[in-house]
A and B are shown apart, each in its own frame.
Chain A
Amino acid sequence: MSDDMREQIIEFIYDEYVEDDSMKIEDDTPLISSGLVDSFSMVSLKMFLEEEYSIQMTDEEASTEAFDTVKRIMALVQKKLDEQG
């Protein structure tokens, strides 16, 4: 999976959510279940992904589980990109 995508997503998460600069986000860092990403603003993450990668996700697809780690987010985006062919 592309390193660019990983970097873009992690950068967005830092800008949008992280207040503690010493916090390190890895592929498997729990985002929503750990409380790092406020579930009320997951919609920002969804909109960012949709715009950045020109994809459309349903609310069911953009679930708290699917958005819980960078790895899972990348898998979801990749799946949507593959579907579009």
Chain B
Amino acid sequence: MAYIDAVRKQFETAVQETLDAGLNKDERFICSEQGVEIEVEYPRGSKRMKVLNFCANNYLGLSSHPEVVKAAHQGLDERGYGMSSVRFICGTQDVHNDLEKAAAKFLGKEDSILFASCFDANAAVFEVLFDENDVLINDRLIHASLIDGIRLCSAQRDSYKNADAGHLAKKLKMWQSRARNMCVVTDGVFSMDGILAPLDEICDVCDEYGAMLLVDDSHASGFIGKTGRGVHEHFGVMDRVDIITTTLGKALGGASGGLIAGPKAVVEMMRNRGRPYLFSNAVPPPIAFAALKVIELISQTTELRDKLEWNAKYFREKMEAAGFNLVPGETPIIPVMLGDAKLANDFAREMLMEGIYVIGFSHPVVPMGKARIRTQLSAGHDKEHIDKAVAAFIKVGKQLGVIS
């Protein structure tokens, strides 16, 4: 057992180091459904607090929407709880197929394929399509799941400065004669800053040099663009983005599931060769039913994304007027810049005491000295909720000397 003891010590030391550095991820316990008004127990066993949630990816407020919950119940009642199979053995129901068709139509692509998560979709996509003859050129701030997906692929790699189409053009020029296929990889919305990738400029340089484009629109699908299709709609390049990956775990119901949407051949290749697709269980029926309902709801009306847009604009205006330093942008991800890591954590804690649930982000999640509170607006917020949050920000901001 000596070996086991030594290993245990090693792991325990690692845990302690994280604690000592103040970097431990401490989870708050929510004792209600996900929504704008939630009940939080923190630490576990203490008195429950009713707070307003400003840090969920529940952009359209659909996580606990009655119609969505009802559809999930219907799925549960009619098709059961789980599939106990991967898709290609006996895990595909008609509703999986319906959902893939509906998602493809919504995103403006030929076809789509469902994964257990977008993390899995991103882990699958590169390895199937590219090899050492090709090059993947990614934005330097892409999501961890895209980075891992790229690592699983034997293609050559390069990267360009965040949201910088000029720098990307230089890279494409350099690689043009050195690779068979070039594929540019970016997030549609960068979730730490809430800024958009300039897809119009990126499409132009991709066309100029003959590169493909893959966009992860996890923080955009359902609400960015006039009818909520995503960042490609916002920039008027719906048919110039080749492949879109996205999640069902944020705006589109918030449960779980991921998608790859693109040309038919790409989707077929994923179905036959995508490892996280082939070797992982099918999405359960209640989720497939509910996700289909979500797409139906947001295809009928833009009411929710319109309200979200209004909410984000209103919050930005009020916060700027109060003197806070925000990252400028047009998404419902609105970072309040504080700089110092401890200040960001203290600020978030005081906000919770005021009944507003927000989280501080600091290094290494964001660059050193750029600590912040990242707020996320939802269509579930009403004006009064936002007014309360702004009032709390002002009170705590004055208390901690952030604003005067």
Contact = CB atoms under 8 A, between A and B. Distances in A.
Contacts of A41: 140, 157-160
B367 interface: yes
B158 A43 contact: yes
A19 B162 contact: yes
Contacts of B161: 19
A43 B156 contact: yes
A3 interface: no
A69 B174 CA distance: 24
B138 interface: yes
Interface string A22-54: 000000000000010010110110010000000
Interface secondary structure of B, over-half rule: mixed
Contacts of A20: 367
Contacts of B160: 41
Interface residues of B, number: 15
B389 interface: no
Contacts of A43: 156-158
Interface size class on chain A is under 10
A59 B143 CA distance: 27
A47 B174 contact: yes
Nearest to A19: B161
Interface of A: 19-20, 35, 38, 40-41, 43-44, 47
Given A38-B159, A41-B158, A43-B158, 9 more contacts: A19-B162, A20-B367, A35-B364, A40-B147, A40-B157, A40-B158, A40-B159, A41-B157, A43-B156
Q: Give me the 7 closest cross-chain CB pairs, A-B, nearest first.
A: A41-B159, A40-B159, A40-B157, A38-B159, A41-B158, A38-B140, A43-B158
22 contacts: A19-B161, A19-B162, A20-B367, A35-B364, A38-B140, A38-B159, A40-B138, A40-B140, A40-B147, A40-B157, A40-B158, A40-B159, A41-B140, A41-B157, A41-B158, A41-B159, A41-B160, A43-B157, A43-B158, A44-B158, A44-B171, A47-B174
